[in-house]
Amino acid sequence: MTRLGFDRIARTFSHRDYAIYMAGNVVWLIGNWMYRVAVGWLAWELTHSPSWLGLIAFGDLIPSVVAGPIAGAFADRWNRLAISRISMSVAASHGVMLFALVALDAITVEILLGLTVFLGFAIGFNQPARLLLITELVPRESLASAVAINSLTFNVARFIGPAVAGVVILWGGLTAVFAIVALTYPFFLIALFAIRSERANAPVPTRDDGILADLVAGIRYAVTHPGIAPLLLMLSALTVFSRPVIELLPGVVAQIFTGGAGTLAAFTSTVGVGAIIGGVWLAGRSGPQGLTRLALVNGVVVAVAQIAFVATGRIEVGLAALLVAGFAQAVVGIGVQTLLQLAVDPAMHGRALGLYAMVFRVGPALGALLMGIAAEHFGFRWPFLVGAVLLAGAVGWTSLKRRVMVEALEVPAGQEPPARPADRKR
């Protein structure tokens, strides 16, 4: 990280509303990661079933299939700040209900699944507006850094949250974890209501087209765009074939590494450490140039790290592999989101990010469900190995379209794309 990179990060945080938003967001994200670790551990304690573990992850993320695209269309029509405030208020009610049920020892795996689906809809509806809100809190020249910082915050929380959850589970039990989680929602809500930005608070111009027409137009735009379509395909492969490793870690820790809650927290936190390093590295970048290549290269790195993770049952090897995987996943995720934020037609912004949010949340759900079912018959090692091979194949196919993607995603309007080596020799 250069001095110029740190200056860009500091300049991004100099915007009052963005700094307030990120302060509330990081508190909520820490609670969210505590929740994910605790819910996975609770589901495992209730059932000791890989299938149920995958089903709980599926129930958390699959509502985005419905909520994501619709939420993206609404984000192009409604005030994004208002959407975030409403959806996070709904999510806060989930935190209170889950804490009460666990405290009263009235929780069952079926109730847990129902509450998980409920939260999935609230977060799924919130995500496109939350991603777009960033564009209204900073000027365009700071957007690349703002997106990277947003992802960095997510991964700082992925490091801190599981570590805190592991300690709290050991000393206070799951009830204490869910109590803390329930208290993190008000921090984010206070930050959202403290935002004064005129752009964020301004009403969105009314549209004549219906929601259905908007949805169809947004999907058509994404699948026919020469850069966005392969980008979303690569992201889909990453989320389906690699992200489930995180969702299914409680079972992996128990079966392959013969560990407990402390090992689970260490593994999840290590992924976060790697992602933090990747996020800090990318946060100092000034623009999208080179991001397509970085995303493709690191997609392959994720696949290799995943193979190394499940190849042995040695904890030190697993930690090293997860550190590398966390770094590479962050580079891919930040790269894809930054390219989308900067390259998408502003009129399609919400719908494109709605599809991104759907892929980002649904992919792990689908992968966790399929890998959880496969793990019932073959254990966790083989599904993860096959997933890594399929991910590498998808990245390889996407790489064939790299030049077209660069021209569509990285080259500013009015500027010629860089010449290929063969062109320079003519």
3-state secondary structure 155-211: HHHHHHHHHHHHHHHHHHHHHHHHHHHHHHHHHHHHHHHHCCCHHHHCCCCCCCCCH
Distance CA 124, CA 118 (A): 10
**pLDDT confidence of 227, banded at 50, 70, 90?**
confident
Whether the predicted pLDDT of 39 surpasses 80: yes
In tens, the pLDDT along 102-122 reads: 999 999 999 999 999 999 888
Residue 205: Cβ-neighbour burial (10 angstroms; 0-12, 13-18, 19+): exposed
pLDDT of 266: 84
Whether the predicted pLDDT of 181 surpasses 90: yes
Whether the predicted pLDDT of 218 surpasses 60: yes
Residue 143, H or E segment: helix 143-194
Whether the predicted pLDDT of 175 surpasses 70: yes
pLDDT of 362: 76
Distance CA 381, CA 161 (A): 26
Which pair of structure tokens corresponds to residue 62?
Answer: 């699959």
Domain boundaries, the chain: 3-200+209-413
**Mean pLDDT, residues 28-47:** 88
Q: Are 124 and 63 in contact (CB under 8 A)?
A: yes
pLDDT of 420: 41
pLDDT of 44: 84
Whether the predicted pLDDT of 412 surpasses 60: no
**Mean pLDDT, residues 140-156:** 75
Whether the predicted pLDDT of 155 surpasses 70: no
Whether the predicted pLDDT of 424 surpasses 50: no
**pLDDT confidence of 6, banded at 50, 70, 90?**
low
pLDDT of 421: 41
Question: Which architecture characterizes domain 3-200+209-413 according to CATH?
Answer: Up-down Bundle (1.20)
Residue 419: Cβ-neighbour burial (10 angstroms; 0-12, 13-18, 19+): exposed
In tens, the pLDDT along 333-379 reads: 888 878 887 777 777 777 777 778 778 777 887 888 888 888 888 88
Q: Are 162 and 35 in contact (CB under 8 A)?
A: no
Distance CA 130, CA 138 (A): 14
3-state helix, strand, coil in the chain (%, to 5): 85, 0, 15
pLDDT of 137: 87
**30: three-class secondary structure by DSSP:** helix
Helix residue ranges per DSSP H, 14-63: 16-47, 50-61
State the chain's mean pLDDT as an integer.
82
Which percentage of the chain shows pLDDT scores above 70? 89
Whether the predicted pLDDT of 20 surpasses 90: yes
pLDDT of 301: 96
In tens, the pLDDT along 302-323 reads: 999 999 998 888 889 999 999 9
Which pair of structure tokens corresponds to residue 54?
Answer: 């995958």
**pLDDT confidence of 425, banded at 50, 70, 90?**
very low
The residue that leads in pLDDT, 372 or 198, is 372
